[in-house]
Amino acid sequence: MTADEMKKQAAWSALEYITTDGVVGVGTGSTVNHFIDALATIKGRIEGAVSSSNASTQRLKDYGIHVFDLNEVKEVAVYVDGADESNHNLQLVKGGGGALTREKIIAAVADKFVCIADATKLVDVLGKFPLPVEVIPMARSYVAREIVKLGGQPVYREGVITDNHNVILDVHGLDIMEPIKLEKKLNDIVGVVTNGLFAMRPADVLLLGTENGTQTVN
């Protein structure tokens, strides 16, 4: 089974969590693209979606699924999104696709966060995947110097501008033993918009696509 087949399996399993006729939160990435394909098959049952990126918005609209502005919506019962890494406490590293800020906002609003991923994403210690940090462009060098003081090696993701018109630093060389502490420390650096640690608000359920079917971790 390829990684993409495992992603697809996890993504389709997430349909079970879409139990209300409300608004569904939709993340970003190749796993979420499979979820959008699945969601389209039950689009008559939902009111619409809120989306974490221009790319997901476009895919949802192509299927004729209404995309609400988050400010128009009082409640998001379920948010479905992928991850670059998850530990066993369902604390995540996200932002490989650069959509971390909007993803974190929708995760904060949602009652339930369902993370979908292939089995390789489950790790004991976060940090092997470089941690994305979204930064206001004029603060890039300053933020990079502050991150070095925290023990990380920031690398500028050249040529990438986020949907919020910011830049991304990918931080290598971190063994993230205390995810909540690091998430707060990075947020405290002036010029940081968001970092890709989802530890203060972890996922509630992790659906892992494996060779033997979808494994549920919660």
**168 contacts 135 by C-beta, under 8 angstroms:** yes
Contact with ligand 5RP (CB under 6 A) among 80, 83, 90, 106:
83
Q: What is the DSSP letter of 130?
A: P
Per CB under 6 A, the list member of 8, 91, 95, 195 interacting with ligand 5RP is: 95
Q: In b/e form, how buried is each residue of 34-64, taking b as 16+ CB within 10 angstroms?
A: bbbebbeeebeebebbbbbbebbbebbeeee
Active site (annotated) includes residue 85: no
Among 57, 81, 85, 202, binds ligand 5RP (CB under 6 A): 81
Q: Does 94 bind ligand 5RP (CB under 6 A)?
A: yes
Place of tokens 């993803």: 103
Question: Minimal distance in Å, beta carbon 167 to ligand 5RP?
Answer: 14
Indicate the annotated binding residues for substrate.
Answer: 28-31, 81-84, 94-97, 121
Decide: 84 and 196 in contact? Cβ < 8 Å.
yes
The two structure tokens encoding residue 89:
């406490």
- Does the protein bind ligand 5RP through residue 195 (CB under 6 A)? no
Least Cβ distance, residue 208 to ligand 5RP (angstroms): 12
Binding of residue 194 to ligand 5RP (CB under 6 A): no
With beta carbons less than 8 A apart as the criterion, state whether 113 and 79 touch. yes
Choice among 85, 103, 134, 183 that is catalytic:
103
| Residue (108 or 148) nearer to ligand 5RP, CB | 108
Told to check if 100 binds ligand 5RP by CB under 6 A, we report: yes
86 contacts ligand 5RP (rule: CB under 6 A): no
3-state secondary structure of 146: helix
The verdict on 170 binding ligand 5RP (CB under 6 A) reads no
| C-alpha count within 13 angstroms, C-beta hemisphere, residue 155 | 9
Phi, psi of 211 (to 5 degrees): -60, -30
Determine if 80 is a binding residue for ligand 5RP (CB under 6 A). no
Dmax of the chain from CA atoms?
Answer: 51
Task: Decide: is 27 part of the binding site for ligand 5RP (CB under 6 A).
Answer: yes
Residue 187: which residues within 8 A CB-CB, separation 6 or more? 194, 195
> Residue 153: how many CB atoms within 10 A of its CB?
14
Distance CA 198, CA 79 (A): 14
CB of 69 to ligand 5RP, least distance (A): 20
Q: Does 131 bind ligand 5RP (CB under 6 A)?
A: no
**Catalytic site positions:** 103
> Which positions touch ligand 5RP (CB under 6 A)?
27-31, 81-84, 94-100, 103
